[in-house]
Structure 1
Amino acid sequence: MFHNAEEVLLIASVILFFSIFAGKAGYRFGLPALLLFLGVGMLFGSDGLGIQFSNPHIAQFIGMLALSIILFSGGMDTKFSEVKPIASQGVVLATVGVLATTFITGGFIYWLSAFISGYVSLTFPESLLLAAVMSSTDSASVFSILRSKGVYLKQKLRPTLELESGSNDPMAYMLTLILISYIQSGGMNIAEAGLSLLIQLVIGAIAGYAFGKIAVYVINHIDIDNASLYPILILATAFLTFSATTLCKGNGYLAVYIAGLVVGNAKIVHKKSIGTFFDGFAWLWQIVMFLTLGLLVNPHELLPVAGIGLTIGVFMIIIARPVSVFLCLLPYKNFDLKGKLYISWVGLRGAVPIIFATYPLIAGVEHAGLIFNVVFFITILSLLIQGTTVTLAAKWLDQIDEPEKKDEFGIELPEDIKSAMSEIDITPAVLNHGNKLMELTLPDHTLAVMVKRNGRYFIPKGNTELKENDKLLMISDNDEALLQAYESLGIQDYTMKKN
């Protein structure tokens, strides 16, 4: 279709521009970016503007690269301090929850395919395979909506959902491969399957931790003159972690996520620039992955599976997901009934199930085309029903928390500097003690380094006159004394960041 490289670049750039603008417009209506990117891919595909793409091998390879980057970036953004209180719950949801969803949904699919005439009857292993492919959740699009709406959640729901979504892909991936092997070989010993699952998890966890520690050591000791090369070094680490772990019969996706956790929670040089690079790069690969999957599907093939897809999708949303969540969280008291209901509702299907659906296609599993189309249809259904109502559901279930105080200055000190930064609001109560900076009684070793006034920033002096609604940035190496000084000055609205 394309005659030269320039045409390919032209079309690719147009699609990227279109995707970004469509995603921005979708935020206003509460639509997940994933849904818009998939839609753009379908629009430009064979049933739309005519771009022909039908190679599941390429789609799977792009998905593998994208997931390596996205999971590593997600691990870097996950703070141990946030996930530690809910670590066991997240891990149980990511493992036992995926397994429970697979068997509950697989049993329903097996019954449904035999009960409804006009559709292909799937065997029980094939039904489990279809369910396993769809068993992982994708909350990346959920939190893009929550952030765009400025929504914060109670009961540590956000770190729970992020930990689950970041760590449940390996379980679904392994179940998919095991079931494909089971179907093709005509049977498999359950003990062998369980052992294979355990080996992949153990090797993946150990390799991820080891590669993460090695990456931290190398980054802090290599001393590269060009700081721009540090993010590239981390990117190479992510790909090395995934490929080496997979070749050693471990789970590469789990290894990449754990390596990202180790790197993101360690003290490394140029940490902020590395994080900024990975945020943008992860978004680029999400867009590329979603567009590729949108191009891969033929929309006219989704209509014949709409009935069974709608039935299975509603069953997963209303029954399978809530049952698995409530079973997994039964021993825990962290979440009340409304919290568990919200976790159940935010079990979105995203790009990962579609990528996993390419494995049966490539393996030549019977009815693989049906599995792919059903998974694609259910993904769209899930995003339309759940993805557009995550904020509304949080309001209905009273799970919206007070927003965190915004960082007005966006300044971070190196982690080896033992000091505390704080941002305070200048109120009439503060001005009662004096309207000049020198008149505020502050402890020794404390500096007022910047003022924000009406969107303008400047460095204050001792005789600088403070005004109501000013924002003042303070740095101190004695945060306890600084907090006592704030109390004496009547300062209540402040944020404190310790290094």
Structure 2
Amino acid sequence: MNDVLGFGVIVGVISVAGLLAVVSNRLSERIRVPAPAVFLIAAAVASDVITRLGHFPTVDVQRLVTVMLILLLFDGGMHIGWRRFRGAAGPVLWTGVAGTLLTTAGVALAAHLVFGLDGQSALLLGVALAPTDPAVVFSVLGRREISGRSGTILEGESGANDPVGIAAMAAVLGAAGHGGWSAFGHGAGEFALQMGIGGAVGLLGGKALAVAMRRLALPSGSLYPLRTLLAAGVIYGVATVAHGSGFLAVFVAGIVVGDIRAPYKAEIERFHSALASLAEIVAFTALGLTVSIASLAEGNAWLVGLGIAALLTLVIRPLLVGGLLLPMRLSGGEKLFVMWSGLKGAVPILLGTYLLSAEVPGAQRLYQIVVVVVTFSVIVQGGLVPAVARWCGVPMRTVEPEPWTLSLRLREEPTGLRQHVVAAGSPADGTAIKHLDLGEDTWISNVTRDGELIPVSGATLLRAGDQILVMVDPAAPLAPRTVFDASGPPPP
């Protein structure tokens, strides 16, 4: 009986902590401090106050955070989708792969020349701090949506360079037993192998999952989101067993299935979005338990961390990643925004725990430096992202939540129905329905504005934010999306 009571206390305390973490998202909006920083700092303080919390095994933390990253990367890939990724694939891969490797070299050089770290420690620190973090990027953006390619590049880079950073760390640690050019060759070969196998498994696994989502019916609607969740785990496992990057495979699979039309797709997306929010809380809380605030004050690790954070934010990323952005078709403001928004988060801290597990000389000090850099990045860089977007002239709008829904359930796929939201500045914004260039085989049957149904007639003026249901002849060409998107031509 005492065991039952004790377990009940544990469940209750963990649930209260989880509820506080969920509610803290509102607090983070008010104080303009990203939620991941709140989770990380609160867990670190708790581990200092309740010493038993600080003895959580590092290996268990790594495994827990790995599962959370699978959820975050798959949801991030689905959020980007194949259509958005295809339009910015070159910049995403360029910044995600080349940008990560260049940042590694830049941080390592600064750590060695400016702060006196030995070559191996400097390289390991550079690898750990190179990746940006999807959890922090999505959390900082929150309900904000960035117009144009800069948002896709930023989100895609944060998802693509995590697998790159993790594979690079595995390659560097694996090459520790080799020497000279042998170490370099071994590490480069291991890295290329992980990237190639991970990308191939993700592409094939995503296509197989897309076919299953569309064609393989299940007896209950509640099973559809579970199928995609378990499939993501299978894709990660297959890629890892094949000596590839499971993280890259999961991210690519999410991109592949992001835009497909499938039964219960909206429910699947909401399910994974909720899981990603939970994963963010769990990952930063678990990593925070490995941090001792008292130990950060010892020695000069915090001072070195702040110095590297300032150099990384103001010099290294702008020079190296900014150089990669020069040939891209982005405005000057968009390039500056992408340079600033390379936020660090859970992945650098996870890579720091790998140093602890590998018993690298000076690992504890390196880990403390990583934690300081990540904390600086989340609070300072992340907190200033909305302001920097305004200064750079990058369009960013707030997507208001829609807690109420009016839906229509059908047994078969609706081939003649399309749903759109009128974007601000689109040809449909402020235009009467009869003046829209929709064609003879397309008509608007339903308009919802501010939660109310609007009577539809030819004289009905559409406004930005209107949710419309379009009926089309399945045999006729579809009305162009540009009528409702901001990128479309002006109305006649």
Q: Do the two structures share a fold, i.e. TM-score over 0.5?
A: yes
For 2:282, the aligned partner's letter is V
For 1:268, the aligned partner's letter is A
Aligned to 1:57: 59
Distance 1:135 1:427 in 2: 42
Secondary structure of the corresponding residue to residue 389 of structure 1: helix
Aligned to 1:126: 121
Larger radius of gyration: 1
Distance 2:153 2:12 in 1: 41
Aligned to 1:396: 391
Q: Deviations over 1:417-456 (max 9, x none)?
A: 144445679999859x9xxxxxx9x987666644546644
Q: TM-score, length-normalised on structure 2? A: 0.84
For 1:169, the aligned partner's letter is D
Structure 1, unpaired ranges of 5+: 115-121, 434-439, 485-491
1:278 equivalenced with 2:272 (yes/no): yes
Q: What's the offset of the Cα at 1:151? A: 5.5
Aligned to 1:18: 20
Contact 1:47/1:299 (<8 A) preserved:
no
Aligned to 1:176: 169
Distance 2:91 2:430 in 1: 46
RMSD over aligned CA atoms reads: 3.7
Percent identity among equivalent residues? Answer: 25
| Alignment of structure 1 residues 278-427 onto 2, 5 Å | 278-304=272-298, 305-330=301-326, 332-400=327-395, 417-421=415-419
Q: TM-score, length-normalised on structure 1? A: 0.83
Secondary structure of the corresponding residue to residue 4 of structure 1: helix
Contact 1:208/1:256 (<8 A) preserved:
yes
Distance 1:83 1:481 in 2: 25
Aligned to 1:197: 191
Distance 2:390 2:421 in 1: 30
Name the CA shift for 1:371/1:472 in 2 (closer, same or farther; >3 Å): closer
Contact 1:476/1:482 (<8 A) preserved:
no
Moved more, 420-429 or 30-39: 420-429
Distance 1:319 1:20 in 2: 35
Contact 1:44/1:50 (<8 A) preserved:
no
Q: What's the offset of the Cα at 1:158? A: 0.2
| Alignment of structure 1 residues 65-144 onto 2, 5 Å | 65-114=67-116, 122-144=117-139
Name the CA shift for 1:360/1:495 in 2 (closer, same or farther; >3 Å): closer
Q: What's the offset of the Cα at 1:338? A: 2.7
Distance 1:404 1:267 in 2: 23
Choose from 32, 35, 41 the match for 2:34.
32
Q: What's the offset of the Cα at 1:478? A: 5.4
Name the CA shift for 1:308/1:461 in 2 (closer, same or farther; >3 Å): closer
Aligned to 1:436: none
Q: What's the offset of the Cα at 1:333? A: 3.5
Q: Deviations over 1:277-323 (max 9, x none)?
A: 10001111111111111112111111231111111111111111112
Distance 1:172 1:314 in 2: 21
Name the CA shift for 1:392/1:139 in 2 (closer, same or farther; >3 Å): farther
Distance 1:194 1:423 in 2: 47
Secondary structure of the corresponding residue to residue 475 of structure 1: strand
Secondary structure of the corresponding residue to residue 45 of structure 1: helix
Contact 1:207/1:241 (<8 A) preserved:
yes
Name the CA shift for 1:452/1:368 in 2 (closer, same or farther; >3 Å): same
Secondary structure of the corresponding residue to residue 49 of structure 2: coil
Name the CA shift for 1:476/1:98 in 2 (closer, same or farther; >3 Å): same
Distance 2:256 2:324 in 1: 26
Contact 2:97/2:164 (<8 A) preserved:
yes
Structure 2, unpaired ranges of 5+: 487-492
Q: Deviations over 1:61-101 (max 9, x none)?
A: 01110111111111111122222232111101111111111
